[in-house]
Amino acid sequence: MFGIEFVPDESVLKIGYMAKLAEDAGFQNIWITDHYNNRDVWSTLAVLSMMTNKIKLGTGVTNPYTRNSAITASSIASINELSGGRAILGIGPGDKATFDKMGIEWDKPLSRVKESVLAIRAFLAKEQVNQAGFKGAQMAFGPSKIPIYIGAQGPKMLELAGAIADGVLINASHPDDFKFAVPMIRQGAEKAGRKPEDVQVCAYASFSADKDQAKAVNASKIVVAFIVAGSPQNVLERHGIGMDEAKAISDALAKYDFKSAMAAVSPRISEAFSVSGAPQDCRARVDELLKTGVTQIVVGSPIGPNKESAIKLIGKQVIGK
């Protein structure tokens, strides 16, 4: 199964056009990022529900801090109604640095995500909700159930996703990351008395495809630079990347020196943090990921040097293989 991520950093109608291209290319899910500095995720999904016919539409990912769970439940249920039952919800703990800028305290991410998922499920089922700080709140409409995916990185969040979610979205592109993550998800599912195969495992990958291999890799370098700068030490160590290499990238990004940041992204770093290259290179990596227990590949930023041609190319030569 293939999904695709769109960042609504350009007009919603342009995103809608690319969403239709993705649907026609054979993608099954669209994930829209939720950041205050871009177009609103819910307005974007509403427009996409009108411009597409069968592809599933979701947040990739929203969080429990910027919006109350009752509002999120109402929003995703509305998208489900507009799209004829095609909504999926991605929710995760979000990014501390972003919340700091917004003046929001990033407290207890694990319990906040867990409480939100359980509350949203109860709202969708039109139950009276008395958990997570609610006092008998209830929705007047709802589809009874919408698949909920948790965005997870660390062991505890991965285990929680295995225990309570329909799927897990993992920001990673390398098989080694999933050899670490998949057992944690399975463990969470088994402890909760669930079948591990009932939990979708999604590789939310930085992806860049082009007929010209070097062009594709180059297009992914700025995205990879930001991923490296935000990666914890244990993830860098897993891929044999030294703290000095990571610091050179972080320091350049801090000065907005994107040229130097990209120059510091070596082929080894690109290979660890992206799926990039010609279609056959991308397909080979996809096959490696599927062997680790991944069930959905999400084609994330940048998609390719040219998004439109990359969507068509991935449809024909990666999904179609």
How many other C-beta atoms are found inside a 10 Å radius of the C-beta of residue 94? 23
Q: Residues of the chain with pLDDT > 70: what percent? A: 100
Residue 88 domain-assigned (yes or no) = yes
Task: Quickly state the pLDDT bin for 146 (edges 50, 70, 90).
Answer: very high
Residue 97 domain-assigned (yes or no) = yes
Length of the chain: 321
For the chain, list the strands marked E by DSSP.
2-6, 29-32, 56-59, 87-91, 148-151, 167-170, 200-209, 275-277, 296-303
If you ran DSSP here, which 8-state letter would residue 317 be given? I
If you ran DSSP here, which 8-state letter would residue 137 be given? B
- When divided into structural domains, the chain yields a total of 1
Q: Nearest Cα to 282, choosing from 306, 316, 240, 237?
A: 316
Contact 89, 165 (CB under 8 A): no
Q: Nearest Cα to 140, choosing from 64, 81, 66?
A: 81
**pLDDT score of 149:** 98
Q: Nearest Cα to 299, choosing from 168, 216, 201, 204?
A: 204
End-to-end CA distance of the chain: 12
Residue 56 domain-assigned (yes or no) = yes
Residue 235 domain-assigned (yes or no) = no
**pLDDT score of 232:** 87
pLDDT at 78 over 90: yes
pLDDT at 302 over 90: yes
Within 13 Å, how many C-alpha atoms sit on residue 17's CB side? 8
Instruction: State the residue range of the domain holding 74.
Output: 2-213+276-319
**pLDDT score of 95:** 85
**pLDDT score of 96:** 84
Q: Angle at the Cα of 179 (from 177 to 182), degrees rounded to 5? A: 95
* 93-114 confidence digits (pLDDT tens): 998 888 999 999 999 999 999 9
Residue 248 domain-assigned (yes or no) = no
**pLDDT score of 97:** 82
Residue 230 domain-assigned (yes or no) = no
Give the separation between CA 56 and CA 261, rounded to whole angstroms: 35
**pLDDT score of 147:** 98
Residue 269 domain-assigned (yes or no) = no
* 200-237 confidence digits (pLDDT tens): 999 999 999 999 999 999 999 999 999 999 898 999 99
Beta-carbon contacts of residue 282 (< 8 Å; ≥ 6 apart): 207, 209, 275, 276, 314, 318
Give the separation between CA 91 and CA 117, rounded to whole angstroms: 8
Mean pLDDT over 47-67 rounds to 97
CATH number of the domain residue 185 falls in:
3.20.20.30
* 242-277 confidence digits (pLDDT tens): 999 999 999 999 999 999 999 999 999 999 999 999
Residue 93 domain-assigned (yes or no) = yes
Q: Are strands 56-59 and 167-170 parallel, antiparallel or unpaired?
A: unpaired
pLDDT at 321 over 80: no
